[in-house]
Amino acid sequence: MSEVGLAVVGVTACNQQLGLHPFNIVGEKYLLAIADATQAWPLVIPSLGHCPAEVVLSRLDGILFTGSPSNIEPHHFDGPASEAGTHHDPKRDATTLPLIHAAIKAGVPVLGICRGFQEMNVAFGGSLHQRLHEVGGFIEHREDKTAPVEEQYGLSHEVKIEPGGLLHDAWGRSSAEVNSVHTQGVDRLGVGLRPEAYANDGLIEAFSVKDAKNFALGVQWHPEWKVLDNAFYTAVFKAFNEACQHRAASRVK
């Protein structure tokens, strides 16, 4: 695709204090996944606590809601107060939660990863287990933080993929192996969300938005990690890319 027709995908940033100043930052792996695995270019969306959604969305062909070290503040889903020391990002919450609804309403393709997946659930009225490892019946979904990063993001467990959904259409199979790098997980599924994949312990690992005008998928794992080395992860980004390309083509007519 020529640069003139290059699709543009917004990528949400985190608002973090680095030294004396607040910064808006995003993991390079998300930017590289867009640049390398799609026919699109990433454009960082800052988390300033507000966003002129109509103007921003009119210029985008898709949005990737990224993962993050931070957790959504639990008051957004009527959850109990977080444990002391939990990393939050209130400006990101205030930016992304309304932006999810605006993007889906506008027909902008959406892919949510990890925190982005959790944001989608909360935006649709769902709730989260804040410390999944303390809830009975679930396998260990956290990474070993003492291990090398290659091992932390290595394949960890299987997911069962529901037939007839976006994920099954993209992959064409009923299961896949994924990494697992999360502390939180879906408790109550948001209204209007369709489960797309489950871990063997019953945890929802992916969902789509039932009545979305366009591609709208959230996944709990990290398909952006070395996406070109994993056929399943590539398939997720390929499906997202196809929706972004279709929107890009319609916007330039």
What are the residue numbers of the active site? 114, 222, 224
Look up residue 45 and give its two tokens: 């969306």
Total length of the chain: 253
How far is Cα 48 from Cα 64, in angstroms, rounded to an integer?
Answer: 17
In contact, 118 and 66? CB cutoff 8 Å = no
| Cβ partners under 8 Å of residue 253, min gap 6 | none
Alpha-carbon gap, residue 248 to 23, rounded angstroms? 30
* Cβ density class 96-135: b for 16+ within 10 Å, e for less: bbebbebbbebbbbbbbbbbbbbbbbbbbebbbbbebeee
Q: DSSP letter at 131?
A: S
Would strands 40-45 and 128-129 be described as parallel, antiparallel, or unpaired?
Answer: unpaired
